[in-house]
Structure 1
Amino acid sequence: MNDSSLLTQDALPSGFRFAAVKAGIKPSGNLDLALAVADLTASAAAMFTSNRVVAAPVLVGRRHMKRSKGRVRTVIVNAGNANCATGPAGIEACEKVCRAAAAAFDCQEDEVFPSSTGIIGVPLPSEKPIHALPQLAATLAATPEQFSLFARAILTTDTKPKVATARISVNEKTVKIAGVCKGAGMIHPQLVPHATMLVYLFTDAAISPEDLDALLQKSVEVSFNRISIDGDTSTNDTVLLLASGASGVPMDASSAAFSNALTEVCTSLAKQIVDDGEGVTHVVELQIEGAPTDRDALSVAKAIAHSPLVKTAWAGCDPNWGRLMAAAGYSGVAVDPERISIWFGDLPICRNGGRAPEFDEAAAHQYLKQRNFTVRIDLGLGRGFCRFWTTDLTADYVHINADYST
């Protein structure tokens, strides 16, 4: 599911409570501070941005995860300020918030996981989230309403909250997974184990931090690492997975049913991010097949997804397939142009490197008018394959980002 307004009590994993308030960080006055608290300290796994410029909460979050050995009790997220490029003062502000949250929710400071999203280079007014902690504590609840408020409080340029859930049955017991995320611009996550994408995943399965880490890496690789809106990798990208163990059902890294359900949730959230991209009018699924390796297929997909010429053609519903060929050619993969074939949906566009005899430009143009469409490219070189989700590039994207800080 992907509509937070339809979230039911039965879909929420047990063992967690949620809250959100207006702390005065966003100039708009909207919700801007979100909190999740595990009833008992939860197992945790996290993945962070590969950008070498990282925000204070990423540095502090990594440190806390290492010191706690993958245990988290409290998650605190502010929107409206990325707390990045703020120097030692940014680290100090983040640590102040973590210390205050640890005291408020009866846990160790290293068991607090911080996140921030918003504008870069502006000092975080730590007094604002700290002042809001009593209000958060007063409203904490394990309800769909509070979970939905959490989903709304973390948004920046997003137009809507993004939620996904899944459940599996094990020996007549139910294990639930619920995920929430934000992201609409500055989206090309490259997450490694050591407008921003933030993802929070909750499950009531009983899983060790080590097994959670293996499961999370597997799911992220085929979901969040397969999307791009504008090719920019944020300084704050974070994916956090928490397991409360409240269902009493033990799982490990070999649990195929849980792995599949987690991947389902991650893929849904990833596609929701793309669909809510800044100024987006078309969402494109790239299916690259016939590559020498899966990694080569991914390289071709990224070259196409990041091409301004390709993306603006999609914005105009222009079936200019030559731009796809050009992007594949400079992707770094040793493609053979005479083996490449292209389809828009089921419509043949290019065959063996040249215009397909049955190519119908009017039909192709009409097909590209849909908000969601598929571009399939066969490189004819091997069995490598990947799916990748991306968008067009519109004038609205330019307007949104030209005025972002002013």
Structure 2
Amino acid sequence: MIQTTSSLLADDAVPLGFRFAAVKAGIKASGNLDFAVAVAVEPASAAAMFTGNKVKAAPLLVDARHLERSGGKVRVVAVNAGNANCATGEAGLQAAEAVCAAAADAFDCEGHEVFPSSTGIIGVPLPAEKLVAALPAIKASLAANAEGFSTFARAIMTTDTKPKVAYAAVEVNGKTVRIAGMCKGAGMIHPQLVPHATMLVYLFTDAEVPSAVLDTLLRSSVETSFNRISIDGDTSTNDTVLLLASGASGASVDAEHEGFGKALREVCLSLAKQIVDDGEGVTHVVELQIEGAANDADALKVAKAIAHSPLVKTAWAGCDPNWGRLMAATGYSGADVQPARISIWLGDQQIAVNGGRVDGFDEQRAHAYLKNREFIVKIDLGLGNGTCRFWTTDLTAEYVSINADYST
């Protein structure tokens, strides 16, 4: 049985084999929780994906080295919010490693078994000494329960307005396997995750899964979730998705286990949608349904062109059914397009057919539909079987205000 939720977890939903805690280390100017740690009781199998941005934050470079050296094992995840530790040069790498070394001492593991992450303002030196000084308080408050999990989820927030968590359970050979995840992200969201300071995702399961299998499962899940969302079209320097498997449930899973794979995909999609829903200044959440493309890659090109168009997004903000902007974005997307074959729907109302407006177009009905916080835009290119589902948002004056004043 699979259960997913975006609400806070119950104690029995927390995957076995992990403990969680968070404290105020003094990184955030607000004084809120800003340092979160998860500790695996035994070394956990790990798989991770990082941003496709060529400018990568220091912790991502450290993570890649550590995962290679440990053979895909992680004991400690250490996340600070309020400082991205990006564009900080050699000092940034040293700061990340200093936190890893101190965490290794605190939790009796190797430094390369520590997975650091950072999110916040780019270009500001990370005061690693504040994180190191906070480790005793972290160690004292570690808990394998829902409160510890929730505290971790709250501490990694920056401009987020609420924590984001999801959970699924699936039966494997008569045993219950849990998958739970949390994430943060509200702006600078257009993940382009590749296997090699904004969206951070941490997924935990108590299934027994080798790292290589985890990597296969994670790639598949990310491609249809986190790589299918955009708020503003900016790809962060810090995007990270980490999946850990403790094996504490006693149930072993391989890459062919349909139930586990489905549960992981549902957790990832729930978290991805929560990120979009909590986007900075967002008043509308839009599901793009692109169909009839020459192939799936072309469908994705159309979805991204629409999702990143300021003209389209501001029209959505004003509930303006200006479908011509959808046509224009489709045309410059780079996909194979024949304008006379394009059809467009807002919800169940068709507004364009064969590249032109439908007879009897009811503009008031379309305007009323766009007043919903969530709505669907469907485009059929009429060329083939390529499809894509993509989630994005409008672009509002509040988004501009948030980001105009972010660092000051």
- TM-score, with length taken from structure 1: 0.99
Q: 2: distance between equivalents of 1:373 and 1:234?
A: 26
Residue in structure 1 matching 2:266, options 260, 264, 269:
264
Cα offset, 1:195, TM superposition: 5.2
2:30 match: 28
Cα offset, 1:39, TM superposition: 0.6
Tell whether 2:347 aligns with 1:345.
yes
2:238 match: 236
Moved more, 123-132 or 249-258: 249-258
Q: Give the match's secondary structure for 1:118.
A: strand
Q: Name the Cα RMSD after superposition.
A: 0.7
Q: Give the match's secondary structure for 1:288.
A: strand
Tell whether 2:142 aligns with 1:140.
yes
Counterpart contact for 2:189–2:235, Cα < 8 Å: yes
1:174 match: 176
1:298 match: 300
Cα offset, 1:3, TM superposition: 4.0
Q: Which amino acid is 1:119 matched to?
A: I
Structure 1's 236 and 228: CA in aligned 2 closer, same or farther, altered over 3 A? same
Q: Which amino acid is 1:116 matched to?
A: S
Q: Give the match's secondary structure for 1:277.
A: coil
Counterpart contact for 1:2–1:162, Cα < 8 Å: no
Aligned length: 405
Cα offset, 1:10, TM superposition: 1.4
Q: Give the unaligned 5+ runs of structure 1.
A: none
Q: 1: distance between equivalents of 2:210 and 2:169?
A: 19
* Per-residue deviation, residues 115-164 of structure 1 (Å, max 9, x unmatched): 00000000000000000000000000101001000000000000000000
Q: Give the match's secondary structure for 1:249.
A: coil
Counterpart contact for 1:157–1:195, Cα < 8 Å: no
Counterpart contact for 2:85–2:118, Cα < 8 Å: yes
Residue in structure 1 matching 2:84, options 82, 85, 110:
82
* Per-residue deviation, residues 307-366 of structure 1 (Å, max 9, x unmatched): 000000000000000000000000001200000000001001101100011421000000
Counterpart contact for 1:227–1:270, Cα < 8 Å: yes
Q: 2: distance between equivalents of 1:280 and 1:196?
A: 16
Q: 1: distance between equivalents of 2:80 and 2:7?
A: 19
Q: 1: distance between equivalents of 2:5 and 2:120?
A: 23
Percent identity (aligned): 74
Q: 1: distance between equivalents of 2:306 and 2:296?
A: 16
2:47 match: 45
2:398 match: 396
Show the 5 A alignment for 1:7-406. Answer: 7-194=9-196, 196-406=198-408
Counterpart contact for 2:197–2:238, Cα < 8 Å: no
Q: 2: distance between equivalents of 1:56 and 1:290?
A: 42
Q: Give the match's secondary structure for 2:121.
A: coil
Q: 1: distance between equivalents of 2:230 and 2:255?
A: 28
Counterpart contact for 1:187–1:195, Cα < 8 Å: no
Counterpart contact for 2:6–2:167, Cα < 8 Å: no
Q: Give the match's secondary structure for 1:80.
A: strand
* Per-residue deviation, residues 61-109 of structure 1 (Å, max 9, x unmatched): 1110111111000000000000000000000000000000011001111
Q: Give the match's secondary structure for 2:96.
A: helix
Counterpart contact for 2:118–2:197, Cα < 8 Å: no
Cα offset, 1:110, TM superposition: 0.6
Q: Give the match's secondary structure for 1:228.
A: coil
Cα offset, 1:170, TM superposition: 1.8
Structure 1's 51 and 185: CA in aligned 2 closer, same or farther, altered over 3 A? same
Counterpart contact for 1:75–1:114, Cα < 8 Å: yes
Counterpart contact for 2:293–2:336, Cα < 8 Å: no
Q: Give the match's secondary structure for 1:43.
A: strand
Q: 2: distance between equivalents of 1:285 and 1:149?
A: 31
Moved more, 176-185 or 254-263: 254-263
Q: 1: distance between equivalents of 2:87 and 2:234?
A: 17
Q: Which amino acid is 1:203 matched to?
A: T
Q: Which amino acid is 1:45 matched to?
A: A
Counterpart contact for 1:156–1:195, Cα < 8 Å: no
Q: 1: distance between equivalents of 2:64 and 2:187?
A: 24
Q: Which amino acid is 2:179 matched to?
A: I
Moved more, 352-361 or 298-307: 352-361
Cα offset, 1:234, TM superposition: 0.1
- TM-score, with length taken from structure 2: 0.98
Q: Which amino acid is 1:239 matched to?
A: V
Counterpart contact for 2:18–2:40, Cα < 8 Å: yes
Q: 1: distance between equivalents of 2:379 and 2:121?
A: 38
Counterpart contact for 1:185–1:195, Cα < 8 Å: no
